[in-house]
Amino acid sequence: MVKHIVLFKLKDEAPADKKLAAMKDFKNAIEALPAKISVIRKIEVGLNMNPAETWSIALYSEFDTLDDVKFYATHPDHVAAGKLIAEVKESRACVDYETIDN
């Protein structure tokens, strides 16, 4: 199994209401993707409850293979979801790693 974890930092200068709306829209869009992209085994989006922290959004997902992650990453519905936070996003950090299912 491949775990795909992404963190998003939002722009400090973006208005708080705009960031919150974008975060909620992004969460809803990403969590609707399993119905559209069959290679997703699991996906969830967490919105940081602690505004003092650096990262605003955490995305956790599971796939069978790295090729599945690549398919998901380029899927039009995933790309569209990413555009929902593009205007308020400052940076992104990602890690993909393989685990052994027990």
pTM of the model as a whole: 0.92
Pairing of strands 42-47, 57-63: antiparallel
Q: Which domains does the chain have, with CATH numbers?
A: 2-98 (3.30.70.100)
Q: At residue 102, does pLDDT exceed 60?
A: no
Q: Which two tokens stand for residue 19?
A: 């960031």
pLDDT tens figures, 38-55: 999 999 999 999 878 899
- The answer to whether the beta carbons of residues 85 and 22 sit under 8 Å apart is yes
Q: Which two tokens stand for residue 14?
A: 């973006």
Q: At residue 96, does pLDDT exceed 60?
A: yes
